[in-house]
Amino acid sequence: MKKNKSTRQIIFALLISVASGAQINAQVAKDTSSSKDLVNALHAAFGEHHARAVHSKGVILEGTFTPSKDAAAITKAFHLQKQSSKVIVRFSDFTGIPDIPDNSGAANPRGLGIKFIMPDGRTTDIISHSFNGFPTATSDEFRQLLIAIGESGPDAPKPNAVDKFLATHPVAKKFLTTQHIPASYATIDYFGVNTFQFTNSKGKTHYIRYQLINEAGDNFLTAEQSAKQGANYLIDEIKQRIAKSAVKFKLYAQIAEAGDDTNNPSVAWPDARKKVLLGEIIVTTLSNNTMQEDKAFVINPGNVPDGIAIADDMLKIRAGAYPISVKERQ
Ligand code: HEM
């Protein structure tokens, strides 16, 4: 059954005041949900709009990626050797609501999806968002949260399903209530959150998580500034910015140490962990941003070359979920 929830209903559910009560740390459990279950849960939360099931609203730009001299030491992946690649990037807002106002708190975290295109046509993708962590440890729990959002419209009696979920999931509560409204897609950092295994040409391996650090400097809006912005201010801002100068991000691999949990994206690894600079992304051009182009931009965290492997359970579910959404949104 197709649902079309209103923007108001969803934003209400996401921005609810959180019920107080005993807080229990989430248990890491084995996933039983399928990729299709997760896509259905995204629709239950945000409605089905024949758009991306989540991060539906976005803007596409193009540029280049140049690998650092240190990248090849930790992976033999083709885009992290000497040659530069073309990149297509898509900045986006959270939720599956295609017209979510950019200044809504529910539009956090912002997304940054990157497709690397080598001169010989080979591609690989990195997908990140502007929070160093995930609301839940597992895909099953993420599905429960999405279903709770779907059940928590403005008319639901309090405490509603989201209140109850957040009362027992402090990490999800932090995720939904502590993020700030950015001044620009270019003035925030983005995080890969899930874990990949890098293998170099000698067979040595590392567990890593991606970080994309902005070179413009962090910049967020106050509540008053945010309230004065138009619904598309982030898209307008990036168009104006790119007409004047390039938007740059440094791509890092944060390296896990023994004892770091590689299978729980809700826990960020300590900041003190070594970060290897993988290269620099320089975004220079706005794409046409036709509806056709937005539909044709297809990325998947499972699109990885030799030298990079999926290393956590959520990535397996994600790799199956993205193509389902792509098919549904054509
Ligand atoms: C179980 C966890 C997750 C599921 C089931 C999931 C599912 C999806 C789906 C179905 C799409 C739409 C794909 C399309 O139609 O092209 C999507 C897009 C996206 N997701 Fe996820 N996702 C998950 C976790 C994450 C995480 C951890 C991040 C960030 C680190 C993330 C960032 C994004 C972004 C930025 C997009 C937009 C990609 C674009 O611009 O085309 N997702 N996700």
Cβ burial 286-307 (10 Å sphere, 16+ → b, else e): beebeeeebeebbbbbbbbbeb
Query: Of ligand 1's atoms, which has the minimum distance to the CA of residue 265?
Result: 27
Residue 114 has a pLDDT of: 99
Spatial CA neighbour of 300 closest among 328, 269, 324 = 324
Ligand 1 centroid, distance to 157 Cα (angstroms) = 30
Query: Of ligand 1's atoms, which has the minimum distance to the CA of residue 51?
Result: 15
Percent of the chain surpassing pLDDT 70: 91
Query: What pLDDT, in 10s, does the model give residues 94-145?
Result: 999 999 999 999 999 999 999 999 999 999 999 999 999 999 999 999 999 9
Q: How confident is residue 19, by pLDDT bands cut at 50, 70 and 90?
A: very low
Residue 20 has a pLDDT of: 31
Query: Of ligand 1's atoms, which has the minimum distance to the CA of residue 112?
Result: 35
Residue 45 has a pLDDT of: 98
Is residue 21 over pLDDT 60? no
Q: If you search the block for the tokens 């027992």, which residue do you land on?
A: 168
Query: What pLDDT, in 10s, does the model give residues 233-291?
Result: 999 999 999 999 999 999 999 999 999 999 999 999 999 999 999 999 999 999 999 99
Q: How confident is residue 22, by pLDDT bands cut at 50, 70 and 90?
A: very low
Residue to probe by mutation, ligand 1, list 54, 132, 209, 289, most atoms within 8 Å of CB:
54
Query: Of ligand 1's atoms, which has the minimum distance to the CA of residue 321?
Result: 10
Is residue 28 over pLDDT 70? no
Q: Which residues surround ligand 1 with Cβ inside 6 Å?
A: 38-39, 42, 52-55, 58, 90, 92, 111, 113, 127-129, 134, 139, 142, 192-194, 265, 297-299, 314, 317-318, 321-322, 325-326, 329
Domains of the chain (ranges plus CATH)?
7-14+34-328 (2.40.180.10)
